[in-house]
Amino acid sequence: MKKIGAVLAIAAMLGVVAWLGVQARDIRNERLEAAERRLQLPEVYLVNLQGVLVPLRSVGGQSVVLVFFTTTCEYCRAELHAFREKAALLKGHDVFFVAWEERNAVGGFARETGIDAVPWFNVLRDTASVLGEELGIDVVPTTLVYGPDGRLRKAFEGLAAVGKIAEAAAGEDRP
C-alpha cells in the first residue's frame, strides 16, 4: 500500500511539474507576442477626461509618448510630478497619460499632479485595460516612446527620468 501511495505521489508531482512547465511556456509566449505588438504604435482611440474619443497617433510628424500609470502608485505620482515640472522638455511631442481607473479618480489625480494643465499632455482612460493588455503592460509606471513613424524608440519600465524620455522622443537616445 505504501508503494502505491508513493507512486501516486510521484505521479502527481510530475503532473504538477508538467502543468507548471506548460503555464510558464504560455506566459513566455504571451510576453513575447506583446513585445512584438509594442514595436508599432497601435491605431486605437481612448477616452479623455471630458468623455471624448482621442486617437493615439502622431499629429504633425511628432513623436508619441505613452505613459501608463495608476492613481494609487507612489512611483507614478513622483513621475507625473516630474513630467509637470519638466513639461517644456516634451513640448512639440504628443504625450498621452493612460490610466485604467474611473474618470473621477483619474481627473483628481491629474489635477493634483498638474499634468492636466499642460496643453500638449493628454490624460486618457483605458478602463477595460484593452491597450494595456495589448501592449503587455504589467508594471506602472511604464513609458513607451514612439517616433513620428509609429515605431517604438524606447521603453521605460518603472520610474524614469523625464530628460531621458525627452531625448528618446527627440530621437537623440541611442541604445
* pLDDT higher than threshold 80 for residue 35: no
Q: What mean pLDDT, rounded, does the chain reach? A: 86
Model pLDDT, residue 173? 58
User: Within a 10 A sphere around the Cβ of 21, how many other Cβ atoms?
Assistant: 10
* pLDDT higher than threshold 80 for residue 175: no
* pLDDT higher than threshold 70 for residue 42: yes
Model pLDDT, residue 27? 53
Measure the CA–CA gap between 93 and 89, rounded to whole angstroms.
Answer: 9
Q: What is the mean pLDDT of residues 115-143?
A: 91
- Band of residue 61 on the pLDDT scale cut at 50, 70, 90: confident
- Band of residue 109 on the pLDDT scale cut at 50, 70, 90: very high
* pLDDT higher than threshold 70 for residue 22: no
DSSP the chain: -HHHHHHHHHHHHHHHHHHHHHHHHHHHHHHHHHHHHHTB----EEEETTS-EEE-S-SSS--EEEEEE-TT-HHHHHHHHHHHHTGGGGTTSEEEEEESS-HHHHHHHHHHHTGGG-TTEEEEE-TT-HHHHHTT--SSSEEEEE-TTSBEEEEEESS--HHHHHHHHHT----
- pTM score, two decimals? 0.79
pLDDT tens profile 92-101:
999 999 998 9
Model pLDDT, residue 34? 62
